[in-house]
Structure 1
Amino acid sequence: MTERVPVLITGGGVAGLTAALLLQRQGVAAALVEKHASTSPQPKARRFNQRSNEVFRSLGLAGAVAEASAPLASFSGMLVGTTLADAQWPEVTEALRASLAQHATMGDHSPAPSVLCPQDVLEPVLRNAAEARGVSVRFATELVSFTQDDTGVTAELRPAGGEPYRLEAEYLIAGDGSRSPIREALGIPCGGYGHLADNLDIAFRADLTELVRDKRFNLCTIENPAASGAFVSVNGTDRWLFSTSDFPGSAALDDEGWRELLRTIVGVPDLDVEMLSRMPWESGMYVADRFAEGRVFLAGDAAHSMPPMAAAGANTAIADVHNLAWKLAAVLRGTASAALLDTYHPERYPIAYATAEFSSLVSGHLGTMVKSVTNGEGPRFDPSAAMFGVQYDEGAFVPDGRGPAPVDHYGPAGRPGTRVPHAWLDGTGAPGGLPAASTGASTGVSTVSTVSTVSTVDLAGPGFVLLTGPDDSRWAGDADALGLQLVRVGDPAWLAEVELGDGGALLLRPDAVVAWHSASGIGLRDALSRVLGSPATVDA
């Protein structure tokens, strides 16, 4: 008998596991398959930014992620030296000082922190949460082949040591990595700069607690005749990674050769070193020309691989599935037409391409990335605008005629197609407590009550939410008729920031993106119909 599920996800990495959790939050049953027996044994991405942590916060995982990232909570600086032992903090140039000042303001724009949490630590947190919440998670199971037609996707799956079986799904999310067999099978080409550098990551165990006690670093650039690259903190005590260009002769080094090399570049001749793994990898920019083909959607590295600039690839992957999950759920529920899914590529492709291109300008390998930051020679940009103020050019929102959001400074102003600005609020708009809300027949259960201090960003999902000024009399009837949660916001500063008068309103998508602003002159019901691609109904 052929098994059937609404959504099949391939790939048990950050993209796939986050997609499974987001679909589960939407009430959509998904099956996740991963050919490897466990989550990644490699640290890989480590810097999960505030937008990613807003997603984890919405999933009720803020505490678990904070606990997982606690060992590296104080490891935030960058060092440079010929060895780790002699490495020092870089000279604070005017460019670096300006960059640090800009980054210091980013906490004002989000309810969530940026954290250092190695991927091999984060992925088990996500997997455990998915399994605990009833997601069908199947590691050691490979997607052998698939076909699709107008009614769905049929996949042949092969568990390790078991017999192949068929599974039918309405949709398939391909989170199967940079060499994505699914992307290849669909014949989707990739654009971008292509190959940039060959790299080699050496994971090792050595007790460096005392050595780094007064210089707790995130990354440390090494320029040494023996080998150059960057040390990476994995747990801040005895787990570390050295990332280097794949230099001539590196392949011939055995474990003892690497131990001696590591002792040299650490600067401790008698250091006790345990080799954990060696992983060669390509740094490059490859962005799929299409993020969707029929009922199959590419996410994460399958859609865009890029150099490891501040874990840009992993953070972009989380944003991909945050965008996609609610759209799949709305179509599966029948409250949106399939046309809503056509907005995935135009919304995500430009952002992913720009992020990959920026990462490629400053990072062939980790050493060059660190130097570009410390010497101020990297491209100039406003980090708050880049993370919180980006606007989709087109997609599932109704433009309000104000023109594009600024790119040189933070100022989304509640424009449709941007992430809603953050403000702490309670019933009067002040920090602390829960917001005053009247709830219609909204889809799912609000997660507002799961956090003790609530941000406007927290209000997003699982359904659409209508944010109003203190006077909601104009909107209460429509919100109730359309099944929208209605939340009054009384914070004058926030209302001014989003250019919303006392009687105005914003429609918030489940991914915290503004779908509509009342200044557009288009009615709420009409706007919701345009976003969903079908007549607005209860449980939108």
Structure 2
Amino acid sequence: MTDDTDSRKDTADTPVLIAGGGPVGLALATELGLRGIACVLAEKRDGSLPVPKMSQASTRSMEFCRRWGIAEQVRNAVWSASHALDFVYLTSLTGFELARQRVPSYAARGHLPYSPEGPTHCPQIFFDPILAGRAKSLPGVSLRYNTALTGFTQDSGGVTATLADSVGGAEETLRAAYLVGCDGPGGLVREALDIPLDGLGTIARSINIFFRSPSLAALHDKGWARFYRTIDETGCWGELIAIDGEALWRLTVFHDSSEAFDAGAYLRRCAGQPFEYEIISAQPWDRRDYVAERYGQGRVFIAGDSAHQCSPTGGLGMHTGVEEAVNLAWKIEAVLRGWGGAALLDSYGPERRPIALRNVELSTQSYRNITGIPAVQHITEPGAAGEEARAAFGRQLADTQLYSVVDHHKVQYCYEDSPVCIPDGTPPPEEGVEYVPSARPGTRAPHAWIEEGTSTVDLFGDGFVLLRLGAAPPSGQVLEDAAAARGVPLRIVALEDEGIAGIYQQPLVLVRPDGHVAWRGPAVPEDALALIDRVRGAA
């Protein structure tokens, strides 16, 4: 909501108000706190998480966790380093295995070619408390649980928000320079801004059954895996996720539109026989495909599930939202500190919305590939007919990569047509199964090891970084002087390693605070001030 008649420039109670305390809101609070920007996070619930929604932190999210100082804590929170992370396709846990996509354990994985980190199994009931603890530790970050955003207005000087105590009902008014809605698909912020949604809408009515069974792992011979996808004569109907690698599990039934369902019957069907269990929660939910038409208005922005919602089969929901938090945080900091131009915050939507559209599409396609696995007669039966059906089906499922999003695709993406990146005319690399590094302007700056334990990724986060690459790169002094003239924080890092220079393809590469390449070239252009003005949103 906007009140154009009020042009107050009064002092805000807080620079940034965040509505919503899920992983995206917590990520934004952490990013702002590390940048020295105070913020208030208002979460209408008490902060407890009775059920796990997301189950994995993506490789890119883990790179952010690495910078936030919590990567090891997340990695060691719950999943044993010796447990495999396979995707197993089977008729039931005690039935027949049909195919397996092998994903090595943390202990066996080694270094990935595209990241110093890697995807990490850490369901939300464990991840959120770790991130909340980090946010709370930062000066200027205030996490206020049982506090709901009930309304707001904005003017040219800031946002006036109404907050209500979720328990006692007492209301207060808080003034902020900016408001970010991380309050989910039914949240107040997007609805108040009257931002429509694009997309397919609800694509399935699914069921999540969260349960405890310490004996389930010993019931079968398939070993530990992250996913067990169940296939019978009806096709692929569900997937079981090991939540803690011990006793907690979640069975997702892909589609059941009936008014009533038998959770126990689904659990026995998945196991292939009766077993002991305790159901903690059994809830139907809508699997959706949508992206907001805009990512904000004036001084109010949206991020995470407020801006998009996708099938979790791609592992791209929280991943996309956390990237948005990081993209927005450095831009808010730049504007508040006076070196960000008038167009910098305007670039948030044009950069992030195309990525959300891509990720939602990938997620829906992944879901349709999985649920499109056809029904096969006799597949659950013993004997010759069953063996023949399973063998033929196993050959059909050989390319199990079709049923998940390629991991490096979640890391290597580009802000094509960004108004604050300077294109160099090179074409985008093809998104194939094999990883091909790219440092085109707009991409996340590629990983390379500088020395044991230190990646190029570790260089980025605090201001701009100008990389001088190779044995005899041009001087970057002119660009450093131009940045200083505009008050833009910039430091120069020289890396002589020719392997790193080959990955980045130009001797000078300017990287933004969010780790994305803003510009690269063989030498600093004649008008260095124009380059700096473009990347700070003041061109």
Q: Is the 8 A contact 2:207 2:253 kept in 1?
A: yes
Residue pairs, 1:153-302, within 5 angstroms? 153-162=159-168, 163-207=170-214, 208-211=216-219, 214-223=222-231, 228-245=237-254, 247=256, 251=260, 253=262, 258-259=263-264, 261-269=266-274, 271-302=275-306
Q: Is the 8 A contact 2:148 2:164 kept in 1?
A: yes
Partners of 1:472 and 1:338 lie apart in 2 by 33
Partners of 1:330 and 1:421 lie apart in 2 by 24
Partners of 2:266 and 2:77 lie apart in 1 by 31
Q: Is the 8 A contact 1:259 1:274 kept in 2?
A: no
AA paired with 1:505? L
Deviations 1:26-80 (A, max 9, x none): 1111111111111432211112221111111111111111122434762411223
SS in 2 for 1:108: coil
Counterpart in the other structure of 1:40: 49
Deviations 1:400-427 (A, max 9, x none): 23243443464453211111111111xx
Q: Is the 8 A contact 1:231 1:241 kept in 2?
A: yes
Deviations 1:445-467 (A, max 9, x none): xxxxxxxx211111111211111
Partners of 1:412 and 1:252 lie apart in 2 by 47
Q: Is the 8 A contact 1:106 1:383 kept in 2?
A: no
Counterpart in the other structure of 2:480: 479
Q: Give the deviation of 1:180 after TM superposition.
A: 2.4
1:519 aligns with 2:522: yes
1:139 aligns with 2:152: no
1:532 aligns with 2:536: yes
1:417 aligns with 2:420: no
SS in 1 for 2:174: strand
Q: Give the deviation of 1:87 after TM superposition.
A: 4.5
SS in 2 for 1:346: helix
SS in 2 for 1:386: helix
Counterpart in the other structure of 1:442: none
SS in 2 for 1:404: coil
Counterpart in the other structure of 1:493: 499
Q: Give the deviation of 1:519 after TM superposition.
A: 3.3
Q: Is the 8 A contact 2:59 2:407 kept in 1?
A: no
SS in 2 for 1:210: helix
Q: Is the 8 A contact 2:447 2:455 kept in 1?
A: yes
Q: Give the deviation of 1:156 after TM superposition.
A: 0.4
Q: Give the deviation of 1:81 after TM superposition.
A: 2.8
Q: Give the deviation of 1:326 after TM superposition.
A: 0.4
TM (norm. structure 2) is: 0.84
Partners of 1:78 and 1:370 lie apart in 2 by 18
AA paired with 1:190? L
Q: Give the deviation of 1:476 after TM superposition.
A: 4.0
SS in 2 for 1:42: coil
Between stretches 322-331 and 482-491, larger displacement belongs to 482-491
Counterpart in the other structure of 1:123: 128
Counterpart in the other structure of 1:388: 411
Q: 1:410 to 1:75 in 2, by over 3 A?
A: closer
Partners of 2:46 and 2:123 lie apart in 1 by 19
SS in 1 for 2:79: helix
Deviations 1:190-210 (A, max 9, x none): 111111000110100011232
Partners of 2:89 and 2:121 lie apart in 1 by 19
Give the percent of matched residue pairs that are identical in Structure 1 and Structure 2: 34
Q: Give the deviation of 1:218 after TM superposition.
A: 1.3
Residue pairs, 1:500-515, within 5 angstroms? 500=506, 504-515=507-518
Partners of 1:50 and 1:401 lie apart in 2 by 28
Partners of 1:213 and 1:33 lie apart in 2 by 46
Partners of 2:232 and 2:444 lie apart in 1 by 44
SS in 2 for 1:251: coil
Q: Give the deviation of 1:186 after TM superposition.
A: 0.9
Q: 1:91 to 1:143 in 2, by over 3 A?
A: closer
Deviations 1:293-338 (A, max 9, x none): 1111111111110111232111111111111110111011111123
Partners of 2:256 and 2:28 lie apart in 1 by 37
Partners of 2:318 and 2:374 lie apart in 1 by 18
Counterpart in the other structure of 1:333: 337
Q: Give the deviation of 1:11 after TM superposition.
A: 1.0
1:13 aligns with 2:19: no
1:28 aligns with 2:51: no
TM (norm. structure 1) is: 0.84
Q: 1:261 to 1:72 in 2, by over 3 A?
A: farther
AA paired with 2:88? L
The structure 1 residue matched to 2:76, chosen from 34, 43, 67, is: 67
Counterpart in the other structure of 1:455: 455
Q: Is the 8 A contact 2:94 2:221 kept in 1?
A: no
Structure 1: gaps (5+ residues): 98-103, 426-430, 433-452, 536-540
Counterpart in the other structure of 2:349: 345
Structure 2: gaps (5+ residues): 1-9, 104-108, 376-392
Q: Give the deviation of 1:368 after TM superposition.
A: 5.6
Q: Is the 8 A contact 1:13 1:40 kept in 2?
A: no
